[in-house]
Structure 1
Amino acid sequence: MKAVDKFEYRRGYKFSTYATWWIRQAITRSIADQARTIRIPVHMIETINKLNRIQRKLLQENGKEATPEELAIHMDMPEDKVRRVLKIAKEPISMESPVGDDEDSHLGDFIEDENAEKPLDETINRGYQSLREKYFLA
């Protein structure tokens, strides 16, 4: 629809040539908006794609993974921003991902619940409660 709205026949281009660009852009934006579990803005997706292209190019040229410093030079970007982009580019990991050789353990099993009461505190509280009931309520 955007191609129809913005097309100017006076310039002499065919509509199909003009519309192809807008269709490609709409598809790319839609994929960028919907492809990830956690949405990343389109401008950041474009930066990630550029970073990935440069990483592949440097890997082919040098035969080794590029360091953030090398990437920063080739992208003309500060190193700390390159590190942030690399961090954002990582895919999230499912809490149900198996851990270890046996399939019984999951990643979520090893994450501490900071709101849960610690076993020692729970035991002490139960002991105090039992003493209160025994001496003050009886």
Structure 2
Amino acid sequence: MRLVINIAKGYKCRHIPMEDLIQEGAIGLMQATERFDPERGFRFSTYATHWIRQSIGRAIDNKSKAIRLPAHVSQTIRRVEKERARFARETGREPTIEELAEIIGLPAAKLQQNLAAGQEMLSLDLPIGDGSGTLGGMISDETTANPEERAMRESILSELRNVVSELSEREQQVMEFRLRGDGVEIQPEEIAQALNL
């Protein structure tokens, strides 16, 4: 278990407590004990380290984000961060997406897609400014009319219905064709043809 604790200490994850990382590492240790073959000539601690790291890494990938990413995407993101840090140390500047893509061996578009998937999520309940509003409150719903517009439209339609109800049946049919409200304008000739005028 000391091996598990030492490996777990190397992972800094603000979303998962250290106890949970140790527990996940213990699961990896159990997998290592089940699969270890002393005939192959490796020391158990060397073999177990891989399984412990894999188990902790998968736990972080699965539990630290609101939306779980596929394992290969998470591995790519971790590798990009490692290569980005190495590149910055060696050259003194941040690498471009194209340089990272070349180092990792992925097309730049695919790399950008993976990096976008790994970005932090923001809660719509997050307070903004002085704390009086939320991010979700700033987003308008374009699919619904605001209450004033809706009330005005209902009032106009009600008035229009009252006026049209005083017309003859044929005149009402003509008005219904002209004022359908679906945005398609019908020419008077088409109305005459439809009503056999």
| Common fold by TM > 0.5 | yes
Q: What is the deviation of 1:35?
A: 1.2
Evaluate the alpha carbon distance shift between residue 126 and residue 39 of structure 1 in structure 2; reply closer, same or farther with a 3 A threshold: same
After superposition, what is the alpha-carbon deviation per residue over 1:81-129, rounded to whole angstroms, capped at 9, x for unaligned?
Answer: 12112211210111122334x2223211221223322346403333135
CA distance in 1, matches of 2:43, 2:88: 40
Evaluate the alpha carbon distance shift between residue 70 and residue 29 of structure 1 in structure 2; reply closer, same or farther with a 3 A threshold: same
TM-score (norm 1): 0.78
TM-score (norm 2): 0.57
CA distance in 1, matches of 2:62, 2:91: 33
Equivalent pairs, count: 135
2:67 aligned with 1:18:
no
Correspondence for 1:113: 141
Structure 2 residues not aligned, in runs of 5+: 1-29, 166-197
Correspondence for 1:77: 106
2:153 aligned with 1:125:
yes
Letter in 2 for 1:66: P
Q: What is the deviation of 1:34?
A: 1.0
After superposition, what is the alpha-carbon deviation per residue over 1:39-83, rounded to whole angstroms, capped at 9, x for unaligned?
Answer: 011111110011111222233334333221222222222111121
Q: CA RMSD in A?
A: 2.6
Structure 1 residues not aligned, in runs of 5+: none
Correspondence for 1:49: 78
Correspondence for 1:33: 62
Q: Runs in 1 of length 4+ with deviation above 6 angstroms?
A: 132-136
